[in-house]
Amino acid sequence: MIRTSVIGLGYWGPNLARNVHTCPGTFLYSLCDRDEERLAAIATNYPAAKTDSDAATVLADPDVEAVVVATPVHTHYKLAKAALEAGKHVLVEKPLTDSVETANELVELAETKGLILMVDHIFVFSPPVRKMKEVVESGELGDLFFIDSIRINLGLFQHDINVVWDLAPHDLSIVDYLLGRLPRSISAFGSVHAGQDIEDVAYLNLDFGEGLIANIHVNWLSPVKVRHVLIGASKKSVLYNDLDGSEPVKIYDRGIHVDGSREARHGLMIDYRSGDVVSPHFQRAEPLQQMVRHFAECIEHDRKPLTSGEAGLRVVRILDAAQRSIKAQGGRITL
Amino acid sequence: MIRTSVIGLGYWGPNLARNVHTCPGTFLYSLCDRDEERLAAIATNYPAAKTDSDAATVLADPDVEAVVVATPVHTHYKLAKAALEAGKHVLVEKPLTDSVETANELVELAETKGLILMVDHIFVFSPPVRKMKEVVESGELGDLFFIDSIRINLGLFQHDINVVWDLAPHDLSIVDYLLGRLPRSISAFGSVHAGQDIEDVAYLNLDFGEGLIANIHVNWLSPVKVRHVLIGASKKSVLYNDLDGSEPVKIYDRGIHVDGSREARHGLMIDYRSGDVVSPHFQRAEPLQQMVRHFAECIEHDRKPLTSGEAGLRVVRILDAAQRSIKAQGGRITL
Amino acid sequence: MIRTSVIGLGYWGPNLARNVHTCPGTFLYSLCDRDEERLAAIATNYPAAKTDSDAATVLADPDVEAVVVATPVHTHYKLAKAALEAGKHVLVEKPLTDSVETANELVELAETKGLILMVDHIFVFSPPVRKMKEVVESGELGDLFFIDSIRINLGLFQHDINVVWDLAPHDLSIVDYLLGRLPRSISAFGSVHAGQDIEDVAYLNLDFGEGLIANIHVNWLSPVKVRHVLIGASKKSVLYNDLDGSEPVKIYDRGIHVDGSREARHGLMIDYRSGDVVSPHFQRAEPLQQMVRHFAECIEHDRKPLTSGEAGLRVVRILDAAQRSIKAQGGRITL
Amino acid sequence: MIRTSVIGLGYWGPNLARNVHTCPGTFLYSLCDRDEERLAAIATNYPAAKTDSDAATVLADPDVEAVVVATPVHTHYKLAKAALEAGKHVLVEKPLTDSVETANELVELAETKGLILMVDHIFVFSPPVRKMKEVVESGELGDLFFIDSIRINLGLFQHDINVVWDLAPHDLSIVDYLLGRLPRSISAFGSVHAGQDIEDVAYLNLDFGEGLIANIHVNWLSPVKVRHVLIGASKKSVLYNDLDGSEPVKIYDRGIHVDGSREARHGLMIDYRSGDVVSPHFQRAEPLQQMVRHFAECIEHDRKPLTSGEAGLRVVRILDAAQRSIKAQGGRITL
């Protein structure tokens, strides 16, 4: 079992600690948080784990093989870098870092050191997203036309990041996983309310070329919670509704067929195909547990993680471009 | 009763004819369509109505007091202009015309002639939209933050217009009715698929200033039908789901309160308010019937219609700007 | 075209008249209602139809080939009998009559006269129910375990009948169509409220033997509208939600497999199968139009209707038994 | 803190253990299960708790103040009796016991001994049910007409009990909490499938007199999960949908008003009132935690629990009557 330390025990860290504890491949070696009271409270659940209030102590311990970084975003780079330099494998909360330069540096450092660098793009490990990937890969959808992703709710305002850096990594990592490539360009709008100087509503428009676009709506001010990913395509389409407990993924055998001939186009001979809707069965599994297991397996077998540092870098590149486009009132940024 | 002719009996015209026939203030004087077979088929339901296959004949008839124009968009200007010049009151299918210049000319002509010019912005006459207007006017929402409008479906491809000119007039007329003013600027994206050269997916982003934005998603390629208007605001928020037959409008007493002091902002002292959700009762009424009655009343009492030529012109101005922004890859257009 | 008269123009009659008018196989020969004002109002839509305020005149007219009876339930028997005796084919609103004796007499009279007697069991002509029938017939469900049917709403109180005779014919005719046989016994409960002396809430429990039961809940006092038919079976199950406009029928490949061996039963070795959910596509069609066409075809080709007098009699037998069980506080009635 | 032992660590026991551990008023003193492997596995989470594989040892320990019994139903009586005789306060999983006699004996024994006897009627501690109780108590509903409760799912077959004894305690305890009295009579139907000799589908019909009935549908074979409680009443009605995460309770200001005069009744002058639908806000709280806290408070302050032994006895009396009615093919049993 890989001796693993979890650094940062705020909102998400305790969940990571619990999964590191129960995952067969990892051993929860130690817990670390600057807030000693918080640290002590979480530690009562894990009597076998050491506790440290200073991350430096954790990184200096030669028995630590892997580190999970779940601290505020602006500290990801410094902590992950120090961990890699200390020879530890690293799993970082999303987003990987808060700039392209630092994300890139971490990727290169992990490569040089021969260590695993993985990002907690949690949705890549959720069964519905896995099912969507399987459907996209099978080719049954035909040509992809658009991806429309909505992630809105009354949200947790963050100290150091806006709604784009907070929520859009989820959507962008799903899109990255489904398509496996960067968009050609991006345009984004953000809006500031409630006396804050950080964006709490934003829309991102990604152009992947060949008629494929992705649109993302992230919002901390919505009274209703919506989490939809809709993939429109030439043959079939897919809707993933994360809040539908019984049928989260639906495949629609519906579409429009246009006869491409000149005569046909003049008359717009359109055939609406309407067919079955299938909600495929899949095994339910806790995404966080899958993710921690994947981290352990990648370390053990020296494999590239699905949500590698490179994937994390791609997401940071889009976030960075989105931020610049928002500042430019939606001006299009080429990637 | 106002002697009224309906010109154009394609998809929507027969619905207008039926409502002109049953509305107490109007008399269905005649029906007109170039397709004589179509004309005859519809006319069997209205034995008292005259039939004409030539609009010129209708406009030349001094007994005709008002004309309803339900022909393809590119013919609206010519027909409405001729009707106004012939001294008829005019109700035009949305959008008013296909250019700012022609829309403006119709508005001025109606003004000069002292005739009623009205646009069939049908949703302005739907009870849920009326209820939203009442809620917005009451001030109970506080400051408006965003309007997010989604209108997607497997759609009817149009000969002469794209999805923006086809569907967005609904959303834009709702927003225009709620806010009563033009946005300061607009940015839009469109995407072309299925062998067509007209946009079938589009996103519009309207900036109204003072932190208020409106985002509109129109789409002819969605396998699922969605018709949502979400208004986010500082005190309460409203969701209008046109497909929810039992509770189409919901008012959420939920929001975020941020203490504006410097100290508070450092620590982001946020209070999540969560309260009741109310689905207000309102009388069901057929919007089309309300609209035709309003047309008759405006003629009778010489009143400015709610969906006047000016409102139609404002919508055309936004559509025109959206079209230009799409051509400019989302470049922002100031209005 | 069969010259057809519609007698009774209250709530449902005008819908029947409209469909007789548009159905290719029938000609709306005349309209009849004792309320001359009502008669005149409906007749304006059908200038070619004769009008009569006395049913006797209709029945005495040798040009009338078929009669649609849409009058209050207690008049069905007398009118249908007179029509059959006058040599007319008859389509009667549900339920066929208000007693087993009279229903039986009509069936025998139609048989003797060689005339078509059909009941307006409208749901038998709805595409979702047709799809359910197809699924049941295919055998893919395995052994049927239970049918649970809910039909509740704020309802229209009837002058002469309770909620069982008003609403349950829908559920019973669906069950009769699916199973094609009478239950062995029935038990029913009814409840009286709101100052009335007629039941407004009722539950029916039908035992079909071999482990198959059907339970029906009909209710005029429910603030929410529900129309569900759930068929549970050994292999697959089906849910028909009449209010789900997009996916009214869902087939669930889910169930429980119990190993029947003694050892297994001791340990209750149960395997939960969970598979896909499929919402099959089917053509949308107006059930009333299908029903009137079927009536015309049965007359033309002298065929037994799907919703024959016999089917109507079976439903009346169950209604009658339910009524007796209610009076007996739920005492079980054998059929 | 009350030193508490949890006996029985099957499906539900571990949840009780976790809440006893975290509840401020109780101390998880020991864990007990005959399956030593299971016992050891659960115990790793609670290093401070003792473990015993024999309940007798637990009951003989004078340091144990209270016992939670979460064993199979047929063992409740013996264990609870022994615990009370040993002077321990007792919390028993639902249903209290499997017969009226034994339930009664426990109630009397607890009374004699001056000990707290409480049943885990968990839904009584759920916020939506609390809200329903508040609404019923307020009188705003007017006269109650019916309660319709549906609890269906692919269920866990039990070794020793049928679907009535397994699921209906939830519905019956909710109804008991809302009304606070026994029904006058009950009639029930059950159905056996899947090679078992225990009922897996059942319907219960409870008559409370004065026009108030409750109907309960419990089912282990339903492919869809439904958990609805609908209360119909003269002024307002309430729907509790346990699966609606955002608006579990809705209050409908809808109903039917019947003018009670003879003339009015002849003409059935009915007024459909249709008003707002309100989904009231309430604090979310884990019912199990509330329940364990209540147990601790009742011990500390020697108070009668909301879900006292008497409430448990009332539920067992109805279950017993339902069972007898099922055997009698639905024959009505007076309570």
pLDDT digits (tens, 9 = 90+) for D284-296: 889 999 999 999 9
Structure tokens at C195: 């100052």
Q: Kindly state the average pLDDT of the residues D143-162.
A: 87
D248 phi and psi angles, rounded to 5 deg:
-65, -30
CB B97 within 8 A of CB B165: no
A144 HSE (CA, 13 A, CB side): 23
Partners of residue C127 in chain A, C-beta under 8 Å: none
SS3 (DSSP) at C27? strand
- Beta partners for residue C227, in sequence order: C151
Q: What count of residues does chain B have? A: 335
> How many CB atoms neighbour CB B275 within 10 A?
14
Q: Which of A246, A276, A279 sits opposite C280 (nearest CB)?
A: A276
What's the pLDDT score for residue B266? 47
Please state, in angstroms and rounded to a whole number, the distance separating the CA atoms of residues C43 and C50.
8
Contact D219 C232 (CB under 8 A): yes
- pLDDT of A240-294, one tens digit each? 999 998 899 999 998 776 655 544 444 555 666 778 999 999 888 899 999 999 9
Structure tokens at B129: 């939209």
Lowest mean pLDDT among A8-22, A179-193, C286-300, D152-166: D152-166
B268 contact A CB<8A: yes
What's the pLDDT score for residue D107? 98
Q: Which of A205, A239, A258 sits opposite B330 (nearest CB)?
A: A205
User: Does the bond joining B62 to the residue before it have cis omega, within 30 degrees of 0?
Assistant: no
Contact B224 C246 (CB under 8 A): yes
User: Which of these, B321, B93, B112, lies nearest to B205 by C-alpha position?
Assistant: B321
If you search the block for the tokens 């409220």, which residue do you land on? Answer: C193
What's the pLDDT score for residue A317? 98
Low pLDDT (below 50) residues in chain C: 262-266, 268-269
Contact D211 C217 (CB under 8 A): no
Q: Which of A253, A274, A279 sits opposite C276 (nearest CB)?
A: A279
CB C164 within 8 A of CB C94: no
Contact C217 D191 (CB under 8 A): no
The interface predicted TM-score of the complex, written ipTM, equals 0.92
pLDDT above 70 coverage of chain D, percent: 93
SS3 (DSSP) at D139? coil
Q: Kindly state the average pLDDT of the residues A147-173.
A: 90
What's the pLDDT score for residue A266? 47
**pLDDT bracket for residue A44 (50, 70, 90):** confident
How many helical (H) and strand (E) elements, i.e. helices and strands, does chain A have? 10, 15
Partners of residue A278 in chain C, C-beta under 8 Å: 276-279
Amino acid letter for position D243: L
Q: Kindly state the average pLDDT of the residues B234-245.
A: 94
Please state, in angstroms and rounded to a whole number, the distance separating the CA atoms of residues C307 and A25.
65
Q: Which of D219, D239, D257 sits opposite C224 (nearest CB)?
A: D239
Please state, in angstroms and rounded to a whole number, the distance separating the CA atoms of residues C143 and D257.
45
User: Does the bond joining A47 to the residue before it have cis omega, within 30 degrees of 0?
Assistant: no
- When the pLDDT of each residue in chain A is averaged and rounded to a whole number, the result is 92
Please state, in angstroms and rounded to a whole number, the distance separating the CA atoms of residues C205 and C183.
10
What's the pLDDT score for residue C257? 66
Question: Which CATH architecture describes the domain A2-122+287-302?
Answer: 3-Layer(aba) Sandwich (3.40)
Q: Kindly state the average pLDDT of the residues B200-229.
A: 95
Q: What count of residues does chain C have? A: 335
Q: Kindly state the average pLDDT of the residues B212-219.
A: 97
Distance from CA of B279 to the nearest CA of D (A): 5
Fold (CATH) for C2-123+287-306: Rossmann fold (3.40.50)
Q: Which of A246, A275, A278 sits opposite C276 (nearest CB)?
A: A278
Structure tokens at A126: 């959720």
Q: Which CATH superfamily is domain D2-123+287-308 in?
A: NAD(P)-binding Rossmann-like Domain (3.40.50.720)
How many helical (H) and strand (E) elements, i.e. helices and strands, does chain C have? 10, 15
CB-count burial class (<10 Å; 0-12, 13-18, 19+) for B271: exposed
What's the pLDDT score for residue D245? 87
pLDDT for D61 beyond 50? yes
pLDDT above 90 coverage of chain D, percent: 83
What's the pLDDT score for residue C89? 98
Which of B251, B272, B281, B282 to substitute to test the interface with D, most D CBs within 10 Å?
B281
What's the pLDDT score for residue C265? 46
Please state, in angstroms and rounded to a whole number, the distance separating the CA atoms of residues C24 and C289.
10
Please state, in angstroms and rounded to a whole number, the distance separating the CA atoms of residues C13 and C45.
14
Contact B225 C243 (CB under 8 A): no
Q: Kindly state the average pLDDT of the residues A176-188.
A: 96
pLDDT for A196 beyond 80? no
Give the CA angle between residues B275, B277, B282 to the nearest 5°.
145
What's the pLDDT score for residue A85? 98
Contact C258 D187 (CB under 8 A): no
pLDDT for D240 beyond 60? yes
If you search the block for the tokens 């919901």, which residue do you land on? Answer: B250
For B103-108, the CB contacts below 8 A with 24+ separation are B103/B77, B103/B309, B103/B312, B103/B313, B103/B316, B103/B317, B104/B313, B105/B77, B105/B81, B106/B77, B106/B80, B106/B81, B106/B309, B107/B309, B107/B310, B107/B312, B107/B313
- pLDDT of A207-234, one tens digit each? 999 889 999 999 999 999 999 999 999 9
Lowest mean pLDDT among B124-138, B287-301, C42-56, C95-109: C42-56
- Beta partners for residue A188, in sequence order: A204
Please state, in angstroms and rounded to a whole number, the distance separating the CA atoms of residues B201 and B165.
12
CB-count burial class (<10 Å; 0-12, 13-18, 19+) for A269: middle
Contact A237 B260 (CB under 8 A): no
For residue A266, what are the contacts with CB-CB under 8 A and spacing of at least 6?
Answer: none
Contact D279 B275 (CB under 8 A): no
Measure CA of the first residue to CA of the last residue in chain B; give whole Å: 41
What's the pLDDT score for residue D256? 72
Lowest mean pLDDT among D176-180, D186-190, D196-200: D196-200
A94 phi and psi angles, rounded to 5 deg:
-80, 150
Strands (DSSP E) contained in chain B are: 2-7, 26-32, 50-52, 66-69, 89-93, 117-120, 144-154, 185-192, 199-207, 213-219, 221-233, 237-241, 249-258, 270-279, 333-334
> How many CB atoms neighbour CB D160 within 10 A?
12
Q: Which of C47, C224, C246 sits opposite B225 (nearest CB)?
A: C246
The dihedral over CA atoms of B262, B268, B269, B270, expressed in degrees to the nearest 10, equals: 130
pLDDT for A120 beyond 50? yes
Where is pLDDT greater, at A11 or B312? Answer: B312
Structure tokens at D14: 């571990």
CB D333 within 8 A of CB D325: yes
What's the pLDDT score for residue B273? 72
pLDDT for D300 beyond 80? yes
Which of A42, A242, A246, A279 to substitute to test the interface with D, most D CBs within 10 Å?
A246
Q: Which of C247, C274, C275 sits opposite A277 (nearest CB)?
A: C247
Pairing of strands D117-120, D89-93: parallel
Strands (DSSP E) contained in A112-236 are: 117-120, 144-154, 185-191, 201-207, 213-219, 221-233
Nearest CA in chain D to B273: D281
CB-count burial class (<10 Å; 0-12, 13-18, 19+) for A275: middle
Contact A230 B222 (CB under 8 A): yes
CB B312 within 8 A of CB B94: yes
Distance from CA of B291 to the nearest CA of D (A): 24
- Domain spans in chain B, listed from the N-terminal domain onward: 2-123+287-307, 127-284+318-334
Lowest mean pLDDT among A38-42, A85-89, D195-199, D210-214: D195-199
Contact C280 A279 (CB under 8 A): no
Please state, in angstroms and rounded to a whole number, the distance separating the CA atoms of residues C257 and A40.
48
Nearest CA in chain A to B269: A157
Please state, in angstroms and rounded to a whole number, the distance separating the CA atoms of residues A24 and C203.
53
Distance from CA of B245 to the nearest CA of C (A): 9
What's the pLDDT score for residue A195? 64
DSSP codes of every residue in B5-69: EEE--SSSHHHHHHHHHH-TTEEEEEEE-S-HHHHHHHHTT-TTSEEES-HHHHHH-TT--EEEE
Q: Is the pTM of this model over 0.90?
A: yes
What's the pLDDT score for residue C158? 66
The answer for A 219-258 residues in CB contact with D (under 8 A) is 224-225, 243, 245-246
Contact A277 C253 (CB under 8 A): no
The answer for A 135-174 residues in CB contact with B (under 8 A) is 143, 145-146, 148, 154, 157-159
The answer for A 269-328 residues in CB contact with D (under 8 A) is none
Give the CA angle between residues C197, C147, D176 to the nearest 5°.
60
**pLDDT bracket for residue B33 (50, 70, 90):** very high
Contact A245 D243 (CB under 8 A): yes
Distance from CA of B221 to the nearest CA of A (A): 7
Contact D194 C254 (CB under 8 A): no
Contact D237 C219 (CB under 8 A): no
What's the pLDDT score for residue A194? 65
Q: Which of A247, A253, A275 sits opposite C277 (nearest CB)?
A: A247
User: Which of these, B176, B210, B205, lies nearest to B189 by C-alpha position?
Assistant: B205
What's the pLDDT score for residue D159? 62
A–B interface: beta-carbon pairs under 8 A? 150
CB D325 within 8 A of CB D332: yes
What's the pLDDT score for residue D275? 87
Which CATH number is associated with domain A124-284+318-334? 3.30.360.10
**pLDDT bracket for residue D219 (50, 70, 90):** very high
Distance from CA of B95 to the nearest CA of A (A): 21
Partners of residue A143 in chain B, C-beta under 8 Å: 193
pLDDT for A158 beyond 90? no
Contact D272 C145 (CB under 8 A): no
User: Which of these, B251, C163, C224, C219, lies nearest to D238 by C-alpha position?
Assistant: C224
If you search the block for the tokens 């932190």, which residue do you land on? Answer: B211
User: Which of these, A2, A37, A42, lies nearest to A18 by C-alpha position?
Assistant: A42
Contact B330 A329 (CB under 8 A): no
Which CATH number is associated with domain B127-284+318-334? 3.30.360.10
Q: Which of B211, B222, B230 sits opposite A224 (nearest CB)?
A: B230
Pairing of strands B26-32, D89-93: unpaired
Partners of residue B237 in chain A, C-beta under 8 Å: 221-224
- pLDDT of D268-281, one tens digit each? 445 667 889 999 99
Q: Which CATH superfamily is domain B2-123+287-307 in?
A: NAD(P)-binding Rossmann-like Domain (3.40.50.720)
User: Does the bond joining A14 to the residue before it have cis omega, within 30 degrees of 0?
Assistant: no
Which of B241, B276, B282, B283 to substitute to test the interface with D, most D CBs within 10 Å?
B276
Please state, in angstroms and rounded to a whole number, the distance separating the CA atoms of residues B335 and B211.
17
CB D98 within 8 A of CB D75: no
Contact D268 C187 (CB under 8 A): no
Pick the CATH number of C125-285+318-334 from 2.160.10.10, 3.30.360.10, 3.40.50.10140, 3.40.190.10: 3.30.360.10
Lowest mean pLDDT among A15-19, C41-45, D314-318: C41-45
What's the pLDDT score for residue B329? 87
Which of B184, B224, B261 to substitute to test the interface with A, most A CBs within 10 Å?
B224
DSSP codes of every residue in C2-19: EEEEEE--SSSHHHHHHH
Partners of residue B47 in chain C, C-beta under 8 Å: 47
Contact A281 C276 (CB under 8 A): yes
Please state, in angstroms and rounded to a whole number, the distance separating the CA atoms of residues D102 and D79.
12
What's the pLDDT score for residue A67? 98
CB D232 within 8 A of CB D148: yes
Lowest mean pLDDT among B146-160, C48-62, C175-189, D27-41: B146-160
